[in-house]
Structure 1
Amino acid sequence: MLSFNNALWIIGGYDNDNGISSSEVWTSTDGTSWTLVTNSAAFGPRHNHASVVFDNKMWVIDGMIYDEYGNQSQYSNIYYSVDGSNWVLATANPPFEIRHSHTAVVANGKIWVIGGYSFNLGALNDVWCSSDGINWECVNDGSNNSFTPTWMHTSVFFDNKLWVIGGQNSLGEVWYAQ
């Protein structure tokens, strides 16, 4: 869920009733009454993605999909929107490993992508950043004094530090970097 332009936004997700990923976008100005903005956003059905507000846009980063046949796959792309209805592909193949269940935060004029899970590599502990959502820089490849590889964690920027908290595979750890 995001807060953007004085409204709450739900972007994509997982439909437990049907066992499939969603490409719906919903918005609410009060958290009680919700309006469907689109039922088929251009980013495609996905869940376990990361979403942030950056540069007056909503961003959707990577994620995964379950289709109606029970197949699962991961996305390696980044989309943004200024209205929740029209989504623009920012980059089709960011340089970081394809992932889901990662986190993204905005701090110091950049989007930061942290950890997650890759079907190819398993749990991840790398950190990437971008000042435009298109060009990405590896800040930490996970090999030097990094947090335990984890996914489904929480990340937040607080007190001029990037915090990585809990998640699968982390044994309840709390890490931070300046």
Structure 2
Amino acid sequence: MKLLNFTAILFGFLLILSCSKDDDQVANVPTLNSINLTSPEADETLVQLLPEFTWETYDSDQTVNYSIFIGTEQDNLPLAASEIQSANPTFTLDVSNALVNATTYYWKVQANIEGALVAESEVQSFVTELITTMQLTENADYPKRIKASAAAFNDKLWIIGGKDAGDIALDDIWSSTDGITWTYEGALSGTVYGHELITFNNKLWLYGGIFDGFVSSKIFSSADGVTWIEETETTPFSQYNNIQMTVHNGRLYRVAGYNASIDPLSDERATYSSSDGLNWDLETANHGFESKYSFVVSAINNNLIAIEPSADSGDNSITLYTSSDGITWNNETTWMTAERGYTSIKTVKFGDKLILATPPPSNLSSATTYYESENGIDWTPATMQTTPIAARDYNFVALGGSLYAIGGTTITSQVTSADNQVWKLN
């Protein structure tokens, strides 16, 4: 009995001793100090792909080494850099490790003294910008030109026709897989400029323009971009400038186009659609917009979207219209913006968004801005940058997850010149 009591007492003593040691160990664990992250700010958007990361200094008389962790998973942040020593600590990624557009990133910073962790920040997030501009080439392989048309087809960029720097109409066909290297693919059966080039029903189509010196209603199609067939059908409309075409619910829509007619109900105000690219149905004789052709048309979320800058130089506004069928157009809103690019705005469908590029009203090639929208009505900036791309008649094309601005007309101090520069926009 006495032995049993002694054993119980000894066990209790050891248990108390063990708890005491555990308490001492917990008490001796140092409390980490906090580091405040300053840039990018928490939940900041439109962050560039090579941002400067900054944070507050950890106050110590000893040498402090900082480590920064950056990644796309909040609970799994890889080490980006270590042994950062500075009174005003910063870190910038190099080009080879640039971030990805339109992506949520997480980051944190740790401070170490002699290998011991002494401070750590909270994990913060930010979102990178959708648009990041980079000039791929200032002088592409194809000759400089204006009033050309470009499109994406069969995993390539295509540019056809236009007028050269000497105002001579062209018939040449060029393609590129990357916007940098361009391949001559042959020629059309005639010269063309001011036309529309668009992908539809697994073919590349060419409509309108000035073909061999005459206003054209010809239709050409190609299954490979190289060999072109002149279709027997012709369009019920003739035009040579500002043709607006887009694909919507399996049909090809043509909304207006300039042919110099002064009749207010000329086909400049008409909307047509086609299921095969050859035969056309008149949807409405008058779209009802303020101008006859100075707008762009796109499609998103089962709606046609028309974006019309004011023709009044003193009115910095853009009016937005929607239509489910091309017949009835609803005036959704008027958007006041200093950048409206009268006759020069461009849109392109990119993933599940529309991208809008708006040069300034003067068309000077120094301040093109970019917006994004998931419905074509509500727009937010896609970047904080401006881009000196050619201000007029350039082509805005999406290919393989990338956006390109191709060619155009450079206008500076009222002097117009042909262009063959190519920009990548993400």
TM-score, normalisation: structure 1: 0.82
Residue matched to 1:128: 272
Which of the numbers 188, 204, 207 marks the counterpart of 1:41?
A: 188
Among 193, 203, 206, which residue is 1:57 paired with? 203
Structure number with bigger Rg = 2
Structure with the higher fraction of residues in helix conformation: 2
Which residue of structure 2 aligns with residue 26 of structure 1? 174
Q: 1:90 to 1:57 in 2, by over 3 A?
A: same
Work out the CA distance in 2 between the residues paired with 1:162 and 1:91: 29
Distance (Å, rounded) in 1 between the aligned partners of 2:217 and 2:309: 21
Match of 2:302 in 1: 160
The match for 2:238 is 98
Is 1:125–1:148's contact at 8 Å kept on the other side of the alignment?
A: no
Kindly, what percent of the aligned residue pairs are identical? 29
* 1:81 counterpart letter in structure 2: S
Tell me which residue corresponds to 1:82: 223
Name which of structure 1's ranges 165-174 and 120-129 shifts more when overlaid on structure 2. 165-174
User: Is 1:150 the counterpart of 2:299 in the alignment?
Assistant: no
Amino acid of the structure 2 residue aligned with 1:128: Y
Post-superposition CA distance 1:105-130 (Å, at most 9, x none): 11211111111111344672211011
Return the alpha-carbon distance in structure 2 between the equivalents of residues 21 and 79 of structure 1.
18
- The answer to whether the 8 A contact 1:102-1:152 is kept is no
CA distance in 2, matches of 1:74, 1:167: 26
8 Å contact kept, 1:102–1:153: no
Is the contact made by 2:233 and 2:278 (CA closer than 8 Å) also made in structure 1?
no
Q: Which has the higher strand share?
A: 1
Report the equivalent of 1:116: 257
Q: For structure 1, which runs of at least 5 residues remain unmatched after alignment? A: none
The whole-number CA distance in structure 1 between the counterparts of 2:310 and 2:243 is 11
Structure 2: runs of 5+ lacking an equivalent: 1-149, 325-426
Contact 2:197 2:206 in 1 (8 A): yes
Task: Evaluate the alpha carbon distance shift between residue 92 and residue 12 of structure 1 in structure 2; reply closer, same or farther with a 3 A threshold.
Answer: farther
Instruction: Give the paired residue count.
Output: 167
Instruction: Verify the 8 A CA contact 1:153 1:168 in the aligned structure 2.
Output: no
Residues 8 and 31, structure 1, Cα contact 8 Å, conserved in 2: yes
Once the 2 structures are TM-superposed, how far is the Cα of residue 161 of structure 1 from its aligned partner? 1.3
Cross-structure match for 1:5: 154
1:88–1:94: structure 2 CA closer, same or farther, 3 Å change rule?
A: same
Q: Is the 8 A contact 1:150 1:169 kept in 2?
A: no
